[in-house]
Homo-oligomer: A and B are copies of this chain.
């Protein structure tokens, strides 16, 4: 049977299910699909290509003969499972933070640096959600004008915390509708009716892990090890779709119209920047592309642009 033997660890989560959908949508040649999860979700049966596939507890033998193994699990689980997979000869594609900054591990946004895949040694890492949408719109500006520095403020949905985050927001909304106080378990305080500038843990410099990832991952993906990238990452009470506000100073002057043209021509990016419009969430729902809007020249700041992004 032609095709690839594929495993998905974390198959029952939001990302795991999306991987299955994308494999089906894009008619990826799958000869066999193995679905893996923790004890909690094992035994479920998920549909794929007209069959029902039972979810198993991940164990080393599950990666025997696997060509491609996707890991849509947390950082701790990836640290345990990814080495199992590569020991069996699989190529691991990991969405967690476990291996992103490791030497020899390509950190890839296909439209931006697919060339980095050439050097992989078994693990390919996928960047953090907000990093992806940021580098997708920075790359076309880098190519034509160079980058001097970047400032990102994020408006991140609870879907970034997986199903647990979505369940927590939903439960807090229901509590508030019933006149009860919202209770926080996953987040450090209620997220319903609130914004929380605390994603991942705080470092000694005052930046959170999420903000630090924006710096280190952007530098690695764009191959600019000294690029200054400052970020404020904020969780907002929105179920899905992250947004970022980005300010960028380029090395060479570039007008807003020229920036719009370059960004609009970049694969995977959709420019939604008609005068007087902004990105409506209905435009973003269910799309793979990164939407970029409101590209504008910062008043009084040479070579500096602002823009909105949403995915």
Residues facing B in A209-265 (CB within 8 A) are 215, 226-230, 232, 234, 236-239, 243, 245, 247, 256
With A226-B300, A230-B299, A245-B232: A197-B294 Cβ-Cβ less than 8 Å: yes
Complex Cα gap A1–B215 (Å): 64
**Cβ of A99: which chain B residues have Cβ within 8 Å of it?**
none
A280 within 8 Å of B (CB atoms): yes
Contact with B along A53-90 (1 / 0, CB 8 A): 00000000000000000000000000000000000000
Q: State how many copies of this chain the complex holds.
A: 2
Q: Is B230 a contact of A149 with CB atoms below 8 Å? A: no
* A195-B238, A278-B196 known; A151 vs B232 contact (CB < 8 Å): no
Task: From A44-52, A106-114, A301-309, give the one contacting chain B.
Answer: A301-309
Chain A residues within 8 Å of B, Cβ to Cβ:
149, 151, 153, 155, 173-174, 176-177, 188-189, 193-198, 201-202, 204-207, 215, 226-230, 232, 234, 236-239, 243, 245, 247, 256, 275-282, 293-301, 304, 306, 308
List 13 A–B pairs whose Cβ atoms lie within 8 Å, in order of A's numbering. A151-B298, A173-B173, A174-B177, A193-B238, A195-B238, A202-B277, A204-B275, A205-B297, A229-B299, A232-B245, A232-B306, A234-B245, A236-B236
Given contacts A189-B281, A227-B300, 6 further A-B contacts (CB under 8 A): A197-B243, A206-B256, A226-B300, A229-B299, A230-B306, A237-B237
Counting from the closest, the 9 A-B pairs by CB-CB distance are A206-B296, A228-B300, A153-B153, A232-B245, A230-B298, A228-B301, A177-B177, A202-B276, A198-B278
